[in-house]
Amino acid sequence: MKTAFVGLDYIFDIVHPDGKLSRNSSQVLKRSIIANVNRALHISRDKGWLTVLVKVGFAPGYVNHPKDSPFFGNANKAGAIELGTRGTDFHPDLESDFADVIVVKPRVSAFYCTDLEAALRANKVQRLVLAGVSTAWAVQATARDAHDRDYQVVIVEDACAAATEEEHQESMKLLSQIARVVDVEELVSL
């Protein structure tokens, strides 16, 4: 089955302790998320899967920023996740050179206003292996969209994190109803 690994929002502002929106960073560090994502990228490359890294970001000057959004509304005030700044660079320890495709998204789901689906369809992908931060937001939104687009969805639990362990586990419980949940080493046998 043609498969793509899709890693979500491992960017400085979100996953690094010095990031401007780093509410997830303590869990990212505690759970060794970046090391696990790198392992997933290596396994994906070895298996010949399409590898995609996705980052959220707004155009310079925040012209596509939803200022009335309760979720994104204050990003511009914080000077966060603006494309072309350090905040939207991938975490310095992430082996982003393993990505075949980099997708930039302006909202929560990796499918919204991006070329992700075109890349997946061009490569005849049927199964998405997802990982990312935050489990409660980007991973859930993208998994739901993938499910509704009839992709088989797999979530790499130990390459995902949320602001708290409880939030992460609640998300995994929900996601298990539309996706297979695995750990990174189980990717070897997929």
| Residue 156: φ, ψ to 5° | -90, 95
Joined together, the tokens standing for residue 186 give 């189980």
| Residue 132: φ, ψ to 5° | 165, -175
Contact between 48 and 38 under an 8 Å Cβ cutoff? The reply is no
Q: Which residues of 155-184 are buried (b: 16+ CB within 10 A; e: fewer)?
A: bbbbbbbbbeeebbeebbeebeeebebbeb
For 3-56+91-189, give the CATH class: alpha beta
Over the chain (190 residues), what is each successive 10-residue block's mean pLDDT? 98 96 92 98 98 97 88 87 97 98 97 98 98 97 98 98 97 98 97
pLDDT (0 to 100) of residue 24:
86
140 half-sphere exposure, CB direction, 13 A CA radius: 16
Distance CA 157, CA 146 (A): 17
Looking at the DSSP bridge assignments, the partners of residue 104 are: 55
Domain limits of the chain? 3-56+91-189
* pLDDT per residue as tens digits for the range 26-72: 999 999 999 999 999 999 999 999 999 999 999 999 999 888 888 88
pTM above 0.85, yes or no: yes
